[in-house]
Amino acid sequence: MNSESRAPYLLLTLVALTLLAAPPARAQSRAQLDPSAAYRSLMQQRMEMSMRAVAEAQRRRFEEGKSDTKFPSDANKVTGKAGVVRAVSPEERSALAHNQRGLEHFAKGRVEQAVKEYNEAIRAYPSLAAAHNNLGSAHFAAARFEEAAAAFRQAAQLDAKYGQAYFNLALAQLKLGREREADAALQAAVRAYYTAGDEHYTAGRLQEAEESYRGMLQIDPGYVPALLRLGLVCNTARRFEEAAQHLRRAVGREPANPYAHEGLAEAFYGMNKFEEAAAAADQALKLAPDSPAAHYFAGLARASLGERDAALSHLARLQQLNAANYAKLLSDFIDRKSPAAR
């Protein structure tokens, strides 16, 4: 299926996934992202690393050399991040230069020099959200958690889709013992990540979309809406084995989720595993009998297996559903596979 013919399927799927990731009620939102589970995940996976980063930064503050310890933020990255803009004015160019020097200092453990550079970047161009986030990361590394929280909060205020800033804010709030505020920041991080990711995906920026969706896995490595979106990105990029890995995890978490099985059907079909593709599509149809995409991939798989009659039954159902685009694609495929008169 080429990119043009995939467009209706991808947009409809993305709309459905948005509904999964953005439930209308607060209670449902909390059910999908259990705060206590998120706290446990954060505490177990990030706090130990954070403390190592703090100790390492303090020890090497004025030393040369690059630390191998990864800090739990995107402070070591500048390109493609929220708040990093194309420099079109002297102020912006100056801010980006200071921000870059700050990143270099931070990477070598020179936290206070990094703080000075980030402050200079903010002074030159106060709207540079990445500089505020990076300043927060430097304060966090120096165990100045109040200052870190303030900087992360400012970054998020400047760019409401800056998921990493919200996530970093949650870490700082946890350090300060403010679980309610941390919960709110985590919820905001999820919303920011999937909103930014969906916009990138719709615009065809798959790498940026993938980065945003992966951000949600920092909060909950098994978060199904993130796994479904990563599967969608990987299928679109024809990285079918990776797509299958994400979607299997989604099925493991939510066996009754039709979109996970539907995505698996596409991934298996892309890997020429037609039996598995047919089985996954059949499971999706048990859960969502009127899914055009599931009928389409079921038809492709059956036709590829030489099961013409089964493929034709899916074609007939697509026609009944008025899924003209899918019906035309599947009809043409069946004709190519077995051109005998129907």
3-state SS of the chain is CCHHHHHHHHHHHHHHHHHHHCCCCHHHHHHHCCHHHHHHHHHHHHHHHHHHHHHHHHHCCCCCCCCCCCCCCCCCCCCCCCCCCCCCCHHHHHHHHHHHHHHHHHHCCCHHHHHHHHHHHHHHCCCCHHHHHHHHHHHHHCCCHHHHHHHHHHHHHHCCCCHHHHHHHHHHHHHCCCHHHHHHHHHHHHHHHHHHHHHHHHCCCHHHHHHHHHHHHHHCCCCHHHHHHHHHHHHHCCCHHHHHHHHHHHHHHCCCCHHHHHHHHHHHHHCCCHHHHHHHHHHHHHHCCCCHHHHHHHHHHHHHCCCHHHHHHHHHHHHHCCCHHHHHHHHHHHHHHCCCCC
Task: Please report which confidence band the pLDDT of residue 79 belongs to, taking 50, 70 and 90 as the band edges.
Answer: very low
Does the pLDDT of residue 74 top 90, yes or no? Answer: no
Residue 19, CA distances (Å) to 13, 22, 204, 288 in order? 10, 5, 20, 16
Q: Are 132 and 122 in contact (CB under 8 A)?
A: yes
Task: Please report which confidence band the pLDDT of residue 9 belongs to, taking 50, 70 and 90 as the band edges.
Answer: low
Mean pLDDT of the chain: 81
> Model pTM greater than 0.85?
no
Does the pLDDT of residue 101 top 50, yes or no? Answer: yes
Predicted local confidence at residue 85, as pLDDT: 46
pLDDT (tens digit per residue) in 157-173: 999 999 999 999 999 99
Range 322-337 average pLDDT: 93
Same domain, 195 and 289: no
Same domain, 89 and 199: yes
Predicted local confidence at residue 23, as pLDDT: 36
Same domain, 39 and 159: yes
The C-alpha atoms of residue 137 and residue 167 are separated, in whole angstroms, by 11
| Residue 29, domain member (yes or no) | no
CA 324 vs. chain centroid, Å, equals 31
Predicted local confidence at residue 10, as pLDDT: 52
Predicted local confidence at residue 6, as pLDDT: 56
| Residue 84, domain member (yes or no) | yes
Q: Give the end of a domain, one of 160, 181, 206.
A: 206
Which position has the token pair 């390492």?
Answer: 56
Range 3-19 average pLDDT: 50
Which position has the token pair 């969502």?
Answer: 288
Does the pLDDT of residue 31 top 60, yes or no? Answer: no
Residue that wins the pLDDT comparison between 18 and 229: 229
- Two tokens at 30? 């909390």
Task: Please report which confidence band the pLDDT of residue 86 belongs to, taking 50, 70 and 90 as the band edges.
Answer: low
Residues of the domain holding 228: 1-23+223-342
Predicted local confidence at residue 75, as pLDDT: 43
Range 264-274 average pLDDT: 97
Does the pLDDT of residue 11 top 70, yes or no? Answer: no
Same domain, 112 and 179: yes
Same domain, 336 and 270: yes
What number of residues does the chain have? 342
| Residue 216, domain member (yes or no) | no
pLDDT (tens digit per residue) in 178-189: 999 999 999 999
Task: Please report which confidence band the pLDDT of residue 43 belongs to, taking 50, 70 and 90 as the band edges.
Answer: very low
Predicted local confidence at residue 17, as pLDDT: 54
- Say what percent of the chain tops pLDDT 90: 69
Assign residue 303 the CATH number of its domain.
Answer: 1.25.40.10
| Residue 218, domain member (yes or no) | no
The C-alpha atoms of residue 114 and residue 92 are separated, in whole angstroms, by 18
Task: Please report which confidence band the pLDDT of residue 338 belongs to, taking 50, 70 and 90 as the band edges.
Answer: confident
Does the pLDDT of residue 257 top 80, yes or no? Answer: yes
The C-alpha atoms of residue 38 and residue 49 are separated, in whole angstroms, by 16
Same domain, 193 and 68: yes
Question: Which region holds residue 65: left if phi is over 0, alpha if psi is between -120 and 50, else beta?
Answer: left
**What is the domain count for the chain?**
2
- Two tokens at 209? 């979309």
Lowest mean pLDDT among 42-46, 301-305, 306-310, 326-330: 42-46
Predicted local confidence at residue 219, as pLDDT: 83
The C-alpha atoms of residue 3 and residue 27 are separated, in whole angstroms, by 38
Q: Which residues lie closer than 8 Å to 162 by C-beta, 6 or more apart?
A: 82, 83, 129, 133, 155, 156, 192, 196
